[in-house]
Amino acid sequence: MTGSIDQLGYLAFEVSDLNAWESFATNVLGLGVVDRTERGFALRMDDHAARFFLTQGPADDLAAVGWEVADEQELDRVLATLPGAREGTAEEAAARAVVRLVIARDPAGTQVEVAYGPARAEPFVSPLVRSGFVAGAHGLGHLVVSAPEPRDTAAFYQDLLGFKLSDRIVCTFYGYPVDITFLHTNERHHSVAFGGPQPKRLHHFLLEVGSIDDVGAALDRAIAGGVRIAQMLGRHPNDKMISFYAFTPSGFQFEYGTGGRLVDDATWQPTTHDRVSEWGHHPPERYAPRRK
Ligand SMILES: [Fe+2]
């Protein structure tokens, strides 16, 4: 079974501080808030009615990953072949603004949802991101998930959901061993990656914008807003993304970048890279000026 999944459709987060997230998502990330209630809200970036679902709770972590399929036949195939999968209820589908969904768990225990028929809306125009978000048919971005048993996670995504290997990065980064596997399910270089166990289910999610100026402006907004920066600007060798990393109000990170390359399965050859970045991505603490 290959090629089931069309794109990364949505992410669901359980967050302890809804107000902090509302301000962060709109004023730093440049996303649009919709359906705000006491219990949560959704976020928009493109022609999907919702790309993120935030609900109030103590976990401060990923609650579910939503993968989108093109039609109901594909959804039925996933339901029949994915171990432990069940059909979501009408209420569960409505909560994700989709026609139908199937619910399962990945080897790390993270809730994985496969959905069909997302609600659409007028394309979102961000007041802060002039070039707009690069999403649409390539999905909302990508995510890096915790994988205590990377081989099991690779088998889950590749053998059961049809993802293809993009490449790996194997090296050390500031003394830490790195071994990350990158997988794609459409032209976006990777929609999911994993490199071992993480403190949270989610290491980071990526938002891609259309210009380097909009990455720089987001970095300015993050610094001005007191957001803790994890890694300054840099470029990855595999997807060529120029990006920075910083912390969300829930303690997991986001990556904000531009210029990600596309892969063509007809010619793509998976490789292994020996560095995380061609340049940059330094933790800013390393460059803090000493006080006299
Ligand atoms: Fe990333």
Question: For residue 158, what is the DSSP state?
Answer: I
- Neighbouring C-beta atoms of residue 196, cutoff 10 Å: 16
Which residues have C-beta under 5 Å from ligand 1, the single-atom ion? 206, 255
Q: Do residues 155 and 186 touch, judged by C-beta distance below 8 A? A: no
Q: How close is the Cα of 4 to the center of ligand 1, in Å?
A: 22
8 A C-beta contact, residue 255 and residue 207: yes
Q: What value does the mean pLDDT take over residues 216-231?
A: 97
Tell me how far the alpha carbon of residue 257 lies from the centroid of ligand 1, in angstroms.
9
Tokens of 123: 């394309």
Q: Residue holding tokens 């649009």? A: 32
Dist. CA 76 → ligand 1 center (Å): 31
Q: Determine the pLDDT at residue 4.
A: 86
Output b/e per residue, 201-230; b: 16+ Cβ within 10 A: bbbbbbbbbeeeebbebbbebbeeeebebb
> Given a cut of 50, is residue 44 above it in pLDDT?
yes
pLDDT digits (tens, 9 = 90+) for 6-23: 999 999 999 999 999 999
Tell how far the Cα of 190 is from the centroid of ligand 1, in angstroms.
Answer: 9
Quote the ligand 1 centre to 80 CA distance (angstroms).
Answer: 31
Distance 206 CA to ligand 1 centre (A): 5
